[in-house]
Structure 1
Amino acid sequence: MASSPPARPSLSASSPSPLPSAPCPSRDSVVAALRTAGCVFAEDEAALLMAAARTAGELTALIDRRVSGLPLELVLGWAEFRGLRVAVAPGVFVPRRRTEFLVDEALAHAPHASVVVDLCCGSGAVGAALAAALDRPEVHAADVDPAAVRCARGNLADAGGRVYAG
């Protein structure tokens, strides 16, 4: 009488993985890694990285990218600009806090503007910030870099902004 082979364990989506998952790095270990790499605001960066990661492996990858010297904004895929989360991508200028001054000046000089033009727009942060502060302006942005144009299109989509290459 032939015996049947032993049953193989099922690896369906509902059953737990037979391999243990990697432990999630602790906040203290993330801060220590960032501080060792020279990150001045290690605690703040650790909180942002930990909030962005969905898994322990993803957190480790984010930490590795930051520790290798990649700017935090590119690791996260966004930068805070005037209270907005502006998407950024490799090769696209990351909006700076000092550029918020430009938005403040534009609002001071034209508080009821109905048309916004953001030339050399990069990520489109200036146009997006003005669109958020004004009452539904018509927004036009332009950049020569294809990566910046793609990024700005995403950042200005909700405002109905039009982005041009050139």
Structure 2
Amino acid sequence: MSVHPVSTTLSTTVLALRRAGCVFAEDEAVLLHEAAASPDELSALIERRAAGLPLEHVLGWAEFRGRRFAVDTGVFVPRRRTEFLVAQAAALAPR
């Protein structure tokens, strides 16, 4: 789905992401707009996300336990649901 850079408003981005099946389109749209350095880059980010790439790969980072980690294609994205497991393991680890 091609989005013309000049007409890419937040609502246009949300609509494009919804059409692509993104469940959290509103939140993702804000992140994409914040990440883009130019209208052309925003258009490219939207197209990559609408094509099905994980948001974290599109942005180049993932947040895990309050920290940002660089990610790219071929890298497993740390998931929020595993934060609990990491916290439990850290609590059990000898100090």
**Which of 17, 42, 63 is residue 34 of structure 1 equivalent to?**
17
**Matched residue, 2:61:** 78
Displacement after TM superposition at 1:24 (Å): 5.3
Displacement after TM superposition at 1:107 (Å): 2.5
Give me the whole-angstrom Cα distance separating, in 1, the residues matched to 2:46 and 2:8: 10
**Matched residue, 1:18:** none
**Matched residue, 1:68:** 51
**Which of 65, 71, 75 is residue 88 of structure 1 equivalent to?**
71
Q: Which runs of 5+ in 2 are unaligned?
A: none
The normalised TM-score by structure 1 is 0.52
When you count strand as a share of all residues, which structure comes out higher? 1
**Structure 1 vs Structure 2 CA RMSD:** 1.4
* Number of residue-to-residue matches in the alignment: 91
Q: Which runs of 5+ in 1 are unaligned?
A: 1-21, 114-166
Please give the per-residue CA displacement for 1:61-104, whole angstroms capped at 9, x wherever unaligned.
Answer: 00000001101000001111111111111111111112212221
Give me the whole-angstrom Cα distance separating, in 1, the residues matched to 2:75 and 2:88: 24
Give me the whole-angstrom Cα distance separating, in 1, the residues matched to 2:48 and 2:90: 37
Give me the whole-angstrom Cα distance separating, in 2, the residues matched to 1:94 and 1:87: 9
**Counterpart amino acid of 1:41?**
F
Q: How do 1:6-155 and structure 2 match up within 5 A?
A: 22-23=5-6, 25-110=8-93, 113=95
Give me the whole-angstrom Cα distance separating, in 2, the residues matched to 1:68 and 1:109: 41
- % of aligned pairs identical? 64
